Structure 1
Amino acid sequence: MTNTATRIKPVTSSAPSGNAPTTLPLLSRESGDSLVDQIVRTVQSRIDDKLLRTGARMPSIRQFADLHSVSRFTVVEAYDRLVAQGFLESRRGSGFYVRERSPVAGTAPTGTVLPLRSNSGQFGNEHGMADNGSSQPQQLDVVWLVRNMFRQMPPQKMPGGGLLPPDWLDGDLIGNGLRSVGRQNMSLLTYGTPQGFLPLRQQLQLKLAELEITAAPEQIVMTSGVTQGLDIVARHFLRPGDVIFVDDPAWFLMFGSFAAMGAKVVGIPRLTDGPDIAKLAELAALHKPRLYVINSVLHNPTSTSLSAAKAFQILRLAEEHDFTIVEDDIYCDMHPGAGVQAATRIAALDQLQRVIYLGGFSKTLSANLRVGFIATSPELARHLSDRKMLSTLTTSEIGERVIYKILSEGHYRKHAERLRNRLNGVRDKVVRQLEKIGLDTGLATGSGMFIWTDAKRDTNVLTEKAMAQGFLLAPGSLFSPNQLPSTRMRINVASMSDPGIWRFMDEELGR
């Protein structure tokens, strides 16, 4: 068997600070990235993570090449890029050293890993100190995972990530759509329409009808992904001091966004078939919320779906306590839609009277195109379209035209089916491996891309250890509004192909 990867042997710092040797991850000759790119990315991340300290001397070009079985030309190009990007400095006659980096005041360098909260509630480096050298703990930022998701790490190094790996998606499908749209030159030189590309909204009318949701094109507002859709809705409804309900656990990005608007975010415990209805009723009577944001289908992070009974009860409570339901259905097309796993959408029961429905294509087609939509009542759609214009004028019609082409030509249905089949092919295997190690996967369902597993120890600590080895995990604390330490973590089944993550988990969590 041909060995397609070579381990980077321990790199020992000879800096005065006496950094400990650091074992770096594998170089892969089949990853699609050049060896130069891999070396640059690896060294950058080690410097950002402070595993290679300022002043540390790098191995000579010859030593690096010999240690890692690469050519000296490869090392020269990698070192030159790192010098140009400010990570290393070249000292004539002495070698290459880690350079002191000076970020713009008030910002963190690109790719910085924000420290996680330990059991003591403090954040910092290995000595429990803030990275600024003071003894004050750094404050946890709810966008910790988002920032690290945007570090250019290979998908197989990100089992805590929220996207399918690029090689699971259909780049040719997107490329063909972009080329077709690119030939429509004149139509791309002006603003789009405020509510979005009309033929796409007409196509979405058909898609929603398949879910038994009736929505005319004038009831649909295109957005730059579901994230912008949530933001537009929240800004329309919320005033400082208002209460907004979210599931607990839930998609973490909402917490900071809503809090920044001055809203109070309250979590509703999520069970296997939906929210805890008794708790929802109790807290609704106490807080009188304006909105309740919920994943009905393939909830993030548990991949559980709402039962019909729970959907009726939520709608009844919304009417009783006069709050609006925001139904985020971004994982819609990963669900088989029938049989024992059949799921109920609240919008199908309510027909967009008290429910605002959100959808998009970032999980199944392309996160980069940023195409999402809001479906709601005609009057509210007009108000939300006006609010969208005040902040962004219109959304990009280029992405909307690409999505329209894919949907209207019938390619999307087969593509979504392939994704579901591939997820089915890996999910059971990942569950069995996790259980073999000793993790509790009792909430694992038969659909979706996530497993909400119980590691039976503080996953903040586990995440810090994983990051030191080049892997991004998603600790359970980030999925709760209170962000207390948790033994849970979210696993993306499509990103568990690297043997290194399994070795790490077995060493840290194995029986």
Structure 2
Amino acid sequence: MANTQSPTPAMPLVALLSRESGESLADQIVRSIAARIDDKVLRSGARMPSIRAFAQAHRVSPFTVVASYDRLVARGYLESRRGAGFYVREKAAPVVRSAPDPAVEQGTAAMDVTWLVRNMFRQAPYQQMPGTGVLPSEWLDGAGIANALRAISRQHPGTLVNYGVPQGFLPLRQQLQEKLAALDIAAAPEQIVTTAGVTQALDMVAREFTQPGDTIFVDDPAWFLMFGSFAALGARVIGIPRLADGPDLQALAQLAALHQPKLYVINSVLHNPSSTSLSAAKAFQILRLAEEHDFIVVEDDIYCDLHPGPAIQPVTRLATMDQLRRVIYLGGFSKTLAANLRVGYIATSHERAQRLADRKMLQTLTTSEIGERVVYKVLSEGTFRKHTDRICSRLDELRSRTVRQMERIGLKIDATPVAGMFVWADAGRDTNVLAAQAMAQDLLLAPGSLFSPSQLPSSRMRLNIAAMQEPAVWRFLEKALQN
């Protein structure tokens, strides 16, 4: 039977508290009680002293005790029972990691998008994930985000606890108006809707402008996560072959006439996974076909800020040419500020923006205004461009050397990118098998089959040059490609 007796108030639960150690009293109390619970000195179900009794026994204020107990509750050490006090919580049994699936290790089990995403989110060193889609955390603007959070925390508390508005934090939308203007895209704040990243933006657009049975075009290869998301809505997802300068226009024209798509989702700038960009000639033809076959073009420009600008590489955005008449433009900051700062946005016509704001309201009411305030603070202080310039410079320093090393060990690169983080490499063998062999050595590769809606075996794979600096990655690839 669980011990429900309260510890004797006169007998201190924690060691002598120091007021000169530099560690707060609450920190000392939390650390000491947690250690006693971990060591089974305090058993599950034991009743803790009342706040007043604890404060008197340890000569601290009741406020310090409340803060300490609350933190222990949050960490799962204590539970609060209304009207009865605090009790030691029964700790859950530790999770035992299951043994690796031999079928996956041998390359015989099916690999799908869930497999890749699950392993991208595992707690492994970044340097062991050359297939990842994000930059190293130390490359991102942690200091800028921390400064913005501190500034926001000093504002009136009411601004932090209330709902925002469905269309998004107005000062951020006004700042995004300026950002888009720099790309020659005219969009008033009323034409912009904030989202929880580009992932939610794509989902909202698909839900609003398609119905079950409709066709959505995507590039092939393209960002894998949207394939399953669109299919779950009942849409038919068809890939348009992607070439170095954009889609295969002949295939696009033929398939558009045959399937009458509602949407075509495309990366114009720094396409994922090849880091290539759309030519002006093809951009014009895409818009012509969209008009002819009456489909909406969804331009995903999440890698916008990793492009060094037209002085380095000519760049054409469909939204710049179309001015948001038939194009819905998407952007975000997860690739440049922080992966978990889920702030994205949609820019479109006034009528579509209102429909999407209503759709967002019905799905999630609003997005987090705290995150939007953080992004606004970073953008409005004028340091964001310098930060992204530093990222581009670091990628430039790595790119040519890394591509040469890829080619030296036997990888083929059809189109060497001049910007961005990805290289679309040909391994000359089924990269599903290669990825399974890599996972057996705790290395994450991104096989090419996952980047196509057909999911057929592929000799291609996406490699992130920022994550290719670990010698173990090169040793594995060199050995695997020689066999």
Report TM bin, short chain.
0.7 to 0.9
User: Does the 8 Å CA contact 1:142/1:255 hold for their aligned counterparts?
Assistant: no
Aligned mates of 1:457, 1:153 — CA distance in 2:
26
Partner in structure 2 of residue 326 of structure 1: 298
* 1:43-89 Cα shifts (integer Å, max 9, x gaps): xxxxxxxxxxxxxxxxxxxxxxxxxxxxxxxxxxxxxxxx95232xx
What amino acid sits opposite 2:290 in the alignment?
A
User: Does the 8 Å CA contact 1:169/1:364 hold for their aligned counterparts?
Assistant: yes
- The correspondence for 1:197, drawn from 166, 169, 172, is 169
What amino acid sits opposite 1:454 in the alignment?
D
Deviation at 1:418, TM superposition (A): 0.3
* 1:421-464 Cα shifts (integer Å, max 9, x gaps): 00001111110110110111122211000000000011000000
Partner in structure 2 of residue 154 of structure 1: 125
User: Does the 8 Å CA contact 1:113/1:148 hold for their aligned counterparts?
Assistant: no
User: Does the 8 Å CA contact 2:166/2:366 hold for their aligned counterparts?
Assistant: yes
Partner in structure 2 of residue 264 of structure 1: 236
Partner SS, residue 339 of structure 1? coil
Partner in structure 2 of residue 435 of structure 1: 407
* 1:237-296 Cα shifts (integer Å, max 9, x gaps): 111110000000000001000000000000000000000001000000000000000000
* 1:394-438 Cα shifts (integer Å, max 9, x gaps): 000011001101100101010010000000011111101101101
Partner in structure 2 of residue 172 of structure 1: 143
Partner SS, residue 143 of structure 1? helix
* 1:272-291 to 2 correspondences below 5 Å: 272-291=244-263
Aligned mates of 1:455, 1:334 — CA distance in 2:
26
Question: Alpha carbons of 1:141 and 1:441: their partners in 2 closer, same or farther (altered >3 Å)?
Answer: closer
Deviation at 1:183, TM superposition (A): 1.6
Deviation at 1:170, TM superposition (A): 2.0
User: Does the 8 Å CA contact 1:114/1:144 hold for their aligned counterparts?
Assistant: no
Aligned mates of 1:433, 1:486 — CA distance in 2:
22
Question: Alpha carbons of 1:452 and 1:139: their partners in 2 closer, same or farther (altered >3 Å)?
Answer: closer
Question: Alpha carbons of 1:127 and 1:241: their partners in 2 closer, same or farther (altered >3 Å)?
Answer: closer
Deviation at 1:186, TM superposition (A): 1.8
Instruction: Give aligned-pair identity as a percent.
Output: 67
Question: Alpha carbons of 1:403 and 1:191: their partners in 2 closer, same or farther (altered >3 Å)?
Answer: same
Partner SS, residue 461 of structure 1? helix
- Does residue 349 (structure 1) correspond to residue 321 (structure 2)? The answer is yes
Largest Rg, 1 or 2: 2
Partner SS, residue 319 of structure 1? helix
Aligned mates of 2:233, 2:141 — CA distance in 1:
37
TM-score, normalization: structure 1?
A: 0.74
Aligned mates of 1:251, 1:173 — CA distance in 2:
28
Aligned residues: 392
Partner in structure 2 of residue 469 of structure 1: 441
User: Does the 8 Å CA contact 2:106/2:437 hold for their aligned counterparts?
Assistant: no
* 1:199-245 Cα shifts (integer Å, max 9, x gaps): 00000000000100000000000000000000000000111110000
Question: Alpha carbons of 1:314 and 1:279: their partners in 2 closer, same or farther (altered >3 Å)?
Answer: same
- Does residue 407 (structure 1) correspond to residue 379 (structure 2)? The answer is yes
TM-score, normalization: structure 2?
A: 0.79
Partner in structure 2 of residue 373 of structure 1: 345
Question: Alpha carbons of 1:139 and 1:476: their partners in 2 closer, same or farther (altered >3 Å)?
Answer: closer
Question: Alpha carbons of 1:162 and 1:449: their partners in 2 closer, same or farther (altered >3 Å)?
Answer: same
Aligned mates of 1:303, 1:313 — CA distance in 2:
21
Aligned mates of 1:114, 1:334 — CA distance in 2:
38
Question: Alpha carbons of 1:114 and 1:240: their partners in 2 closer, same or farther (altered >3 Å)?
Answer: farther
Partner SS, residue 445 of structure 1? coil
Deviation at 1:168, TM superposition (A): 1.0
* 1:219-230 to 2 correspondences below 5 Å: 219-230=191-202
